[in-house]
C-alpha cells in the first residue's frame, strides 16, 4: 500500500480501469480512487469497456466514465483495479503499449502480479475496503461522496455482509462510512431495490417451475423464451434467480436453466452448491467452470435434454 | 445499564421473557442474557407464550425455552426484553403479581418504563446490541455461543445491516462477533435461507399476479386460497412477499393482499411505503395500523372488492 501511496503522490496523470462487466466493487473503487487523486490535484480519467449497470448509476461521477480512453488524455500511469489478470480489462487494454507504468490493486487470491507495483490483499472483502485504507494512509478527508463509493463496493462484494469474505475489518470500515454520512437504507434501496416490472413477473414464472431431484437435494428452475414473449420483452437481469432454489432447506445443489437469445436456442446453466458438491467440476463436464460453490456452462441442445444431462451429472456428484 | 449490571450481580433467580410472536432479536437476546446469568452462577429460565420460529431453532439452547413458567421455579426477578409495554409478553404475564422485581431492557422509542429498573436505548439497533455492551460491562468473556445469539439478534432486527437503525456501533459489534468466531455465511444460511418448497412455489404464483396502479407508483400482488390448494398446503410464512413489489423502481406504495384461512374469507393487507405516503394512516382507514412505512389491516370482503377499496385510498394518499 505504501508504494501505491507514493505513486499517487509522485505521479501526475492516471487512467483508472477495472474489469469487463463491471459491478459494485469495480465501479465503486474506481470512483473512490478518482476522488482521491483529484483531491491530490492529479489529472485522472476512468475508462471501461462495458456500460455502468443501471443500479449503480446513482453514484456521483459515473456519467464521466468513458467507454474509450479520452483522445486528448495521455496518461503516464495505469491503475488496474479488481483484476486478477491484465486481460480482464478487455478491449481497452489494446490502447496501451508495454511501457506504461502499472499499479495493480486487487483482492483476488489468484492475482498474477502483472503490475510495476502490485498491492494485493486477498483477505480484503473488496478493493473498496483496501481503498479506504489507502485514503487514510494518504491523509485524505473522507467526505460523503467518497464514503458512498466505498460502501457500495463493500456491500456488493460481500452480498450485504454475508459472504465468507466479510471480516471484522469490513464491519469497522462500514461503521466508519456510516459515521461519515452513508445512509444504509437509502444505499440498499438504490443498489438492490431497483427492479423492473418484467424482472419481478419473470422471477414469478421461473419460481413456479421449481422442481426437486436427487432426494430433494437438488432444486432447479427454468426460464424459457416463451416466458419472455408472454411479457413482451427481450432481456432482463436474472442474476438473483438462482438464489431462490438455493435458499430451500436441505438443498445441496441449485440449478437455473435459461434459454438464451441465440438461434438455434442454447441453454445457460447456473450452478450453486452449499459446499458438499464441487459444481466447478460438474460444470466443467460441459465445458463450463467457475468456483466450487458457484459455476456455469452453456449447452447446445433443447431445454429438456439439457436438464436431463445436467441432473444426471449432479446426481452422480452427490453420490460421491 | 449499570443498574442492570448491579441487579445481575446481586440477585439470584431470574425469569427471562420477551414478546409474543418472537423473532431474532427477542430469541437471540433472551439466550444471550441467559448465557450471561449462567456464567455468573445464577438460577435462570426463559419462558415464552409462542413457539420459537423454525429458522431460529439452530441457536443453542432454544429447546430449553418453555411455553410456561417451570412449576418448580420461583423467580424473584423478571427480565423483560424487547417489549415497549408489559402486555407484549402475552399470556405469561398472568403468572406474576405486582410485587416481582422487573428489569425492563428495550430499544423501542415508545417504551413505557414499566420496570423497577428501565434500561432503554432507542438508538440501539436491537436489544442484542445492548446485551453485548452489558456482557462487556460485566466482564463476561464472550464465547462463540453468546456471540452467535447476539449476531442473530442484530442481523434480524437490521435486515442484514440495511435498516435505518444500523449505526457505526452496530457494525463495530458485528465485527467483534466475527472475530469471536461467528461465520456470517453460515449464519445467513441458517436464518434467511431455510425456505420450504411450497414457500418458493407460492411466492412464484404471487409474483405472477403483480399489477401496477397510480401511474406505476403502486405495485400489488395477491395470494389466494386456491393457490394454497394447488400446492396442497394450508399455510406458509409469507413475511417477505411484500418485499418484491416494494423493490420495483419508482414504486412508492407496495401492497400484498392475502386471503386468510378463516371462513368466510377475510383479506389480510400488508402495506409498505418508500416514505412519501404514510401507510399507517391509510391502514387505519380500514381499522388497521402500524408505522408510516409499514402497516397492515384485515378486510372482511372478497379479494377484488378489498383491492378496489384499498387502491382507492392509496391513490388518494398519493395525490396529497
C-alpha A31/C-alpha A58 separation (Å) is 12
Percent of chain A with pLDDT over 70: 100
Over the range B224-254, which residues count as b (16 or more CB within 10 Å of their CB) and which as e?
Answer: beebbeeeeeeebebeebbebbbbbeebbbb
Rg (Cα) of chain B, in Å, rounded?
21
Q: Where are the beta strands (DSSP E) in B180-312?
A: 211-213, 218-223, 253-259, 267-273, 289-290, 294-299
Supply the pLDDT for residue A316: 97
Q: Report helix, strand or coil for A154.
A: helix
DSSP H helices in B193-234: 197-208, 225-231
Q: N- to C-terminal Cα distance for chain A? A: 44
Interface test mutation site (partner B, options A160, A163, A230, A294, max chain B beta carbons within 10 A) = A160
pLDDT tens digits, one per residue of B222-262: 999 999 999 988 888 888 899 999 999 999 999 999 998 77
Q: What is the pLDDT of residue B72?
A: 86
Chain A nearest-CA residue for B206: A204
For residue A264, say if its preceding peptide bond is cis, omega within 30 degrees of 0.
yes
* pLDDT score for A258: 95
How confident is the model over B255-302, as pLDDT tens digits? 999 998 777 789 999 999 998 999 999 999 999 887 888 888 999 999
Domain B198-319 has CATH 1.10.10.60: no
In this prediction the pTM is 0.86
Which residues touch B308 (CB under 8 Å, ≥6 apart)? Answer: none
Q: pLDDT band for position B74 (50/70/90)?
A: confident
Return phi, psi of residue A40, to 5°: -80, 0
Give the mean model confidence (pLDDT) for residues B76-103. 89
Q: Which three cell numbers stand for residue A220?
A: 432447479
> Is A206 in Cβ contact with B184 (below 8 Å)?
no
Q: Which residues pair with B220 in a beta bridge?
A: B211, B255
Distances (CA, A) of B77 to A41, B9, B55, B80: 64, 12, 30, 10
Q: B184: nearest CA in chain A? A: A162
Chain B: closest CA distance from residue A82 (Å)? 22
Residue B6: which residues within 8 A CB-CB, separation 6 or more? Answer: none
pLDDT tops 90 at residue B66: yes
Q: Do A175 and B184 touch (CB under 8 A)?
A: no
List Cβ neighbours of B201 (8 Å cut-off, separation of 6 or more).
A207, A208, A210, B231
Helix-, strand-, coil-residue percentages of chain B, each rounded to 5: 40, 20, 40
- Give the nearest chain A residue to B194 (CA atoms): A249
Å between B119 CA and nearest CA of chain A: 24
What's the CA gap between B64 and B31, in Å, rounded? 10
Q: What is the pLDDT of residue B237?
A: 81
Question: Tell me, which fold does domain A197-319 have in CATH?
Answer: Diaminopimelate Epimerase; Chain A, domain 1 (3.10.310)
A contacts of B204 (beta carbons < 8 Å): 203-210
Mean pLDDT over each residue of chain A, to the nearest integer = 93
For residue B121, name the pLDDT band (cuts at 50, 70, 90): very high
Closest CA to A17 of A29, A4, A3: A29
**pLDDT attached to residue A224:** 95
Report pLDDT digits (tens) over A102-157.
999 999 988 999 999 999 999 999 999 999 999 999 999 999 999 999 999 999 99
- The predicted pLDDT at position A65 comes to 95
Pick the residue with more confidence: B128 or A90?
A: B128
Task: Give the SS3 label for residue A46.
Answer: strand
pLDDT band at A193 (very low <50, low <70, confident <90, very high): confident
Whose cell is 395470494? That residue is B223
Please give the Cα distance from A154 to A152 (Å, whole number): 5
Average pLDDT score, chain B: 93
Q: Evaluate if residue B130 carries a pLDDT over 80.
A: yes
Range B2-192 classified under CATH 1.20.120.450: no
Residue B240's pLDDT is 87
Query: Which pLDDT belongs to residue A146?
Result: 97
Instruction: Look at residue B262 in the predicted model and tell me its pLDDT.
Output: 73
**Which pLDDT belongs to residue B167?**
97
Which ipTM score applies to this complex? 0.85
Cell numbers given for B214: 397510480
Chain B nearest CA to A320, separation (Å): 23
Interval A198-246: pLDDT, tens? 999 999 999 999 999 999 999 999 999 999 999 988 888 888 899 999 9
* Per-residue pLDDT tens over the stretch B154-177: 999 999 999 889 999 999 999 999
With CA atoms as reference, the chain A residue closest to B172 would be A172
At residue A125, the pLDDT reads 95
Which residues does chain A have within 8 Å of residue B251's beta carbon, measured at their own beta carbons?
none
Asked whether the beta carbons of residue A176 and residue B185 sit closer than 8 angstroms, the reply is: no
β-pair partners for B253: B218, B273
Find out whether A29 and A128 touch, Cβ atoms under 8 Å: yes
Contact check, Cβ <8 Å, B178/A185? no
Query: Where exactly are the structural domains of chain A?
Result: 2-192, 197-319
Closest CA to A172 of B142, B176, B135, B155: B176
Amino acid at each position: 500500500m505504501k508504494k501505491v501511496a507514493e505513486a499517487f503522490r509522485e505521479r501526475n496523470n492516471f487512467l483508472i480501469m477495472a474489469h469487463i462487466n463491471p459491478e459494485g466493487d469495480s465501479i465503486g473503487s474506481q470512483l473512490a480512487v478518482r476522488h482521491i487523486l483529484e483531491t491530490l490535484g492529479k489529472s485522472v480519467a476512468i475508462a471501461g469497456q462495458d456500460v455502468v449497470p443501471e443500479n449503480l448509476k446513482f453514484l456521483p461521477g459515473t456519467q464521466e466514465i468513458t467507454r474509450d480512453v479520452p483522445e486528448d488524455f495521455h496518461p503516464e500511469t495505469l491503475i488496474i483495479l479488481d483484476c486478477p489478470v491484465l486481460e480482464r480489462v478487455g478491449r481497452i487494454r489494446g490502447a496501451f503499449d508495454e511501457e506504461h507504468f502499472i499499479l495493480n490493486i486487487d483482492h483476488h487470491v489468484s492475482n498474477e502480479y502483472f503490475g510495476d507495483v502490485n498491492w494485493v490483499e486477498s483477505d480484503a472483502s473488496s478493493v473498496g475496503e483496501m481503498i479506504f485504507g489507502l485514503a487514510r494512509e494518504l491523509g485524505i478527508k473522507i467526505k460523503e461522496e467518497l464514503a458512498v463509493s466505498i460502501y457500495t463496493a463493500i456491500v456488493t462484494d460481500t452480498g450485504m455482509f454475508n459472504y465468507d469474505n466479510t471480516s471484522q475489518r469490513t464491519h469497522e470500515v462500514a461503521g466508519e462510512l456510516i459515521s461519515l454520512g452513508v445512509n444504509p437504507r437509502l444505499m440498499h434501496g438504490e443498489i438492490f431495490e431497483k427492479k423492473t416490472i418484467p424482472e419481478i413477473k419473470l422471477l414469478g414464472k421461473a419460481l413456479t417451475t421449481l422442481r426437486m431431484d436427487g432426494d430433494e437435494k437438488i432444486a432447479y428452475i427454468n426460464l424459457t423464451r416463451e416466458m419472455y414473449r408472454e411479457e413482451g420483452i427481450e432481456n432482463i437481469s436474472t442474476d438473483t434467480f438462482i438464489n431462490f432454489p438455493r435458499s430451500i432447506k436441505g438443498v445441496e445443489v441449485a440449478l437455473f436453466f435459461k434459454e438464451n437469445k441465440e438461434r438455434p436456442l442454447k441453454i445457460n446453466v447456473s450452478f450453486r452448491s452449499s459446499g458438499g458438491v464441487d459444481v466447478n467440476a460438474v460444470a466443467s463436464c460441459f465445458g463450463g467452470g467457475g468456483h466450487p460453490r458457484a459455476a456455469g456452462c452453456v449447452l447446445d441442445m433443447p431445454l429438456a435434454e439439457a436438464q436431463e444431462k445436467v441432473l444426471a451429472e449432479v446426481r452422480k456428484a452427490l453420490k460421491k
